[in-house]
Structure 1
């Protein structure tokens, strides 16, 4: 077995070793191999992360010497110097597991700045404002990630400075204000840690590497892995990528952005994404500022747009998957910072699968295997009823970030969303923007709505991956966390009010808008057709109604594996009859009711068998114990007491009869007691009615030349004697 190193420069690494390098490290290595413009850097492997935890959360002794050796290599490639006061080398420190976990672990930018290097950086760039802003950003990220300082403390200082200068944008702050902010940020960190803020770049780097490893076992990362089925065999630990900083905030000839090689919302073959001029990448991903559509880059920076377009084309053809790409333009020079398989909606996955087969980029087997089954289920979710939408007030319109409709009560707080979700409440999480630590609430919410951010923001990408409806960048939505309200177009919504969001259109409505069944697209039909040809194992649907059977057939179902006949008695026109049958005092009374129920079941069987013409339908005879169709005895006792207090004698007598019967039929062990075949033995007339209804339906359909294939399941058999008796 070849011994691995703890650290690999991008050009040295084998990008096929994704488990060792993590997805980000493998991507940077592969882009370097493809001669694409990637800043120099290196990857600390996932093995080091595991050693860190095996060693009681201490970095291996051989790590930092290997790291510093690679820092020296970066110095030679860039011409910059570590801890230099004239031309300092600055780096970013980024996490990267084998499986993409957007925003779940930590990143630190501008590492290497201190009181001395910031002056050298200002001299080198001829831009003191930019240098001090970079230092300010570094301290905030470092304080949050390494020391665990709450973001709000930094935000308060920043907001105070902006208010004092009368500006709303960070980029408008002058140098003196930024120097003051840096000083205040350091005080916040030092108060929190009871130690001096580290000035040594080596110490900063060592602490940052350790913080990234710690984030692998952070709450949000653990929850994300659990919810997305990310196990140790597919992602064991995180790598750490140390990359030369390139700056998108060095002026109007600099920019940063995120782009998808195909539309992550609908799958169209078009570049989709956003960029910001004079900004750093975290501004786009965090949704702090709403970016401009990537198409506008063609006008703002035509040379960089062309390089981006060519890189997107090259990477998609190479990986044979739509890519999610981060890029930066530093004073006109284009760089790629990351590529990974794009998170897409279920509809986009289906469309891109079909399109890429037509383009001969992938084969049909690959097209089927790249769509997770659980995500495909999102295509079966209901959408807003367009005929009813006009009856509801539109509150706001934002950017459609993840498709689907969702209704729920408005909740602004992350923890409260989780608590109410556990109680079964339907919730729309409403935030200014979302952060990685908010992700546990995403699982509890029906949908997500943010006033800031774009299609490349954290909320959009994570929601899309989860199949949750999401709207971002809704500027008319003014959120007041202090009073738990939001206002748009003169309408104020309080926490607990119900709204509906349409993540396909970006619209927000007051109240609960009715929904309708989804439509099957041609691309979805094509995927299902390919799946039918490729399958080696047949799958049948569960369906208990004609509507369910027709829907199953529409989605490619080839037969019904379980048709639960008791579900057919739940309709408002039937449950009363079924209770009458249970309450019947003799066989004659019971048969009179069963005759009516038999006609209803026969009509259902006709429609179900017709919907599944040519395929088997397994019809299960009555299974649950009879007491389940009667009211709860304890509730009946309470009802009788109330009726007696109201002197309703006739109703009391009726309720007491039902109570007596419910107690007679009550089961100590309802899972194994008097149910299924044993009910059929005790009351053979029930099963006789059901079997007669099946065969009468079959005869009627056969006369009409409909190829029906019913199969009868006898439930809960525990001995051969029961089967022989019922036959």
Structure 2
């Protein structure tokens, strides 16, 4: 069977190889009684079939999709393509093994000239409706039609300048309608045809776009790096939309149940008010540290409870995505948290101490790590340098190296044995090749829980995001941090402990997690003795 109805009375054993890791996690969260929007899944076998056909959908996909949509309509009381209170859906990827940010997602599918008036009547919120429509047009062009985001990003930036507002979510209704009209014109010009106004056509195109993302360069590179072989493809999870862009009583976020950089037992999250999930994970927006200020006490309590439930259910630190729609919390995904090797040691030891897992399970999870290679750096004591600027730390440790502004420059430095500090406007998973050979990452925008930051942290790259003092002149191959201008190749130092950025290569001291390594070696010794 290639269609799976989440939240239906029928129960299906969550096999990630068949339904994808995302849907398998959703199924288990439903079992735990957590709030999940209704969804259906097109299994991984359909992706394999799509590529075997040379990029054509099998005739059964449309039938299965129609059955799934009927399931969502029954669960929500809304009609897909309806003119009154229409159903909108998200179309999400779901590989058998988590691949953060490597595969594509399309949100707000089903919004068009026919359904837009019904959504306006149902919500009474024209700012939200027009904001959602412009989001769909841009995302659809990128994912389904492989358009560059640049023409659409330029339209957004121009609207912000023209109306003199700090961000796109502060545009008024008239400005958003104007922006959407410009996006429709740009879509026609860039893609060569009008934006599809039939919700069923949108949905089919989004499903194909997600299937195609399985073989993008970054996805293939990630699977090669992680040695992920023999996978059939990605599943597609189609889920009723919940909206974080419904005003200041709404928002979207990503949370880790433990600090993925250090392993400390504390909620580690980014949360944006009046935003959809892509605003957080894509790394394009500025997100300051200390986002807990955006949380109400009730939401903070709920997230703490969710964190405990997830760790109890999955017996490991989790990375979960959530949306708050007008005060109501919804969970959209959970997965085992990607973490630094240092954090992996502490989390394994703490979970044993807490009675969540036993020592053999901890040793099994740490089997891929070379304990002798787990190190990080700190600034040598007595180093008194004034930082050029500060950013939001997205990992622990300190790294020094020459500035590289793209993957080519980073690879060139790596070949010389000089791991670079990749300096970018934003962290993107398209920078996979560069991240794999860099020692550090510094960005002008982005969140510490964005997909690219997650991947960088997993690779042990010291990462700082959202450095507001940073500007980049790609043509001149220079950067400015505060008042200081630096050229590509000049050395800088990035400190993941406090977010400081320094000129020059400062003296570093190597640290090792001796306490945790000694405990784990003792467990290994005991395990070997028991099995002799």
With the shorter chain as reference, the TM-score category is over 0.9
TM-score, length of structure 1 as denominator length: 0.70
Residue deviations 1:609-665, cap 9 Å, x none? xxxxxxxxxxxxxxxxxxxxxxxxxxxxxxxxxxxxxxxxxxxxxxxxxxxxxxxxx
Answer yes or no: is 1:290 the counterpart of 2:283: no
**Partners in 1 of 2:291 and 2:308 — Cα distance?**
15
Q: In the alignment, what sits opposite 1:434?
A: 427
**Superposition map of 1:454-473 within 5 A:** 454-473=447-466
Residue deviations 1:659-687, cap 9 Å, x none? xxxxxxxxxxxxxxxxxxxxxxxxxxxxx
Q: In the alignment, what sits opposite 1:9?
A: 6
Residue deviations 1:58-90, cap 9 Å, x none? 111111111111111111111111111221100
**Structure index of larger Rg:** 1
**Superposition map of 1:14-25 within 5 A:** 14-25=12-23
Q: CA deviation at 1:480?
A: 3.2
Structure richer in helix, relative to its length: 1
The alignment partner of 1:71 has SS state of helix
Partners of 2:144 and 2:205 within 8 A in 1? yes
**Partners in 1 of 2:311 and 2:392 — Cα distance?**
25
- Structure 1 pair 178/159, CA: closer, same or farther in 2 (3 Å)? same
Q: CA deviation at 1:499?
A: 0.8
Residue deviations 1:561-595, cap 9 Å, x none? xxxxxxxxxxxxxxxxxxxxxxxxxxxxxxxxxxx
Partners of 2:141 and 2:191 within 8 A in 1? no
Q: In the alignment, what sits opposite 1:499?
A: 492
Partners of 1:410 and 1:427 within 8 A in 2? yes
Q: CA deviation at 1:6?
A: 3.6
Partners of 1:401 and 1:504 within 8 A in 2? no
**Partners in 2 of 1:265 and 1:63 — Cα distance?**
41
More relative contact order, 1 or 2 (CA 8 Å, 6+ apart): 2
Q: CA deviation at 1:194?
A: 1.8
Partners of 2:342 and 2:375 within 8 A in 1? no
Q: CA deviation at 1:425?
A: 4.3
Answer yes or no: is 1:510 the counterpart of 2:503: yes
The alignment partner of 1:149 has SS state of coil
Which one of 262, 270, 273 corresponds to residue 269 of structure 2? 273
TM-score, length of structure 2 as denominator length: 0.95
Consecutive unaligned residues in structure 2, runs of 5 or more:
none
Q: CA deviation at 1:180?
A: 2.0
Which one of 513, 522, 532 corresponds to residue 529 of structure 1? 522
Partners of 2:410 and 2:419 within 8 A in 1? no
Q: In the alignment, what sits opposite 1:561?
A: none
Partners of 2:14 and 2:27 within 8 A in 1? no
Q: In the alignment, what sits opposite 1:309?
A: 304
Q: In the alignment, what sits opposite 2:473?
A: 480
**Partners in 2 of 1:388 and 1:493 — Cα distance?**
25
Q: CA deviation at 1:514?
A: 2.6
Partners of 1:40 and 1:74 within 8 A in 2? yes
Q: In the alignment, what sits opposite 1:107?
A: 105
Partners of 1:275 and 1:291 within 8 A in 2? no
Q: In the alignment, what sits opposite 2:318?
A: 323
Q: Which moved more, 1:528-537 or 1:44-53?
A: 528-537
Partners of 2:14 and 2:23 within 8 A in 1? no
Partners of 1:327 and 1:337 within 8 A in 2? yes
Partners of 1:6 and 1:63 within 8 A in 2? no
**Superposition map of 1:153-302 within 5 A:** 153-232=151-230, 235-287=231-283, 288-291=285-288, 293=290, 295-297=292-294, 300-302=295-297
Partners of 1:263 and 1:272 within 8 A in 2? yes
- Structure 1 pair 533/20, CA: closer, same or farther in 2 (3 Å)? same
The alignment partner of 2:374 has SS state of helix
Which one of 128, 131, 134 corresponds to residue 133 of structure 1? 131
Q: In the alignment, what sits opposite 1:395?
A: 388
The alignment partner of 1:387 has SS state of coil
- Structure 1 pair 250/93, CA: closer, same or farther in 2 (3 Å)? same
- Structure 1 pair 291/75, CA: closer, same or farther in 2 (3 Å)? farther
Q: In the alignment, what sits opposite 1:574?
A: none
Residue deviations 1:101-135, cap 9 Å, x none? 11001011111111121222122111111100100
**Partners in 2 of 1:122 and 1:413 — Cα distance?**
43
The alignment partner of 1:389 has SS state of coil
Q: CA deviation at 1:507?
A: 2.2
The alignment partner of 1:115 has SS state of coil
Answer yes or no: is 1:28 the counterpart of 2:23: no
- Structure 1 pair 509/193, CA: closer, same or farther in 2 (3 Å)? same
Answer yes or no: is 1:360 the counterpart of 2:358: no
Q: CA deviation at 1:441?
A: 1.5
- Structure 1 pair 384/242, CA: closer, same or farther in 2 (3 Å)? same
**Partners in 2 of 1:110 and 1:292 — Cα distance?**
28
Which one of 452, 464, 480 corresponds to residue 445 of structure 2? 452
Partners of 1:428 and 1:445 within 8 A in 2? yes
Q: CA deviation at 1:378?
A: 5.1
**Partners in 2 of 1:537 and 1:141 — Cα distance?**
56
Residue deviations 1:676-711, cap 9 Å, x none? xxxxxxxxxxxxxxxxxxxxxxxxxxxxxxxxxxxx
Q: CA deviation at 1:424?
A: 4.6
**Partners in 2 of 1:274 and 1:403 — Cα distance?**
17
The alignment partner of 2:86 has SS state of coil
Q: Which moved more, 1:121-130 or 1:417-426?
A: 417-426
Q: CA deviation at 1:188?
A: 2.3
Q: CA deviation at 1:185?
A: 1.7
The alignment partner of 1:39 has SS state of coil
- Structure 1 pair 13/401, CA: closer, same or farther in 2 (3 Å)? farther
Q: CA deviation at 1:256?
A: 1.1
**What's the RMSD between the two structures over aligned residues?**
2.1
Residue deviations 1:492-535, cap 9 Å, x none? 12212111222233222211123333234312221122122224
The alignment partner of 2:332 has SS state of strand
Consecutive unaligned residues in structure 1, runs of 5 or more:
539-727
Residue deviations 1:408-448, cap 9 Å, x none? 21122344434554555431111121222122221122211
**Superposition map of 1:584-663 within 5 A:** none
**Partners in 1 of 2:511 and 2:54 — Cα distance?**
52
Q: In the alignment, what sits opposite 2:403?
A: 410
Q: In the alignment, what sits opposite 2:86?
A: 88
Q: CA deviation at 1:491?
A: 1.2
Q: In the alignment, what sits opposite 1:386?
A: 380
Count of residue pairs brought into register by the alignment = 529
Partners of 1:15 and 1:27 within 8 A in 2? no
- Structure 1 pair 385/208, CA: closer, same or farther in 2 (3 Å)? same
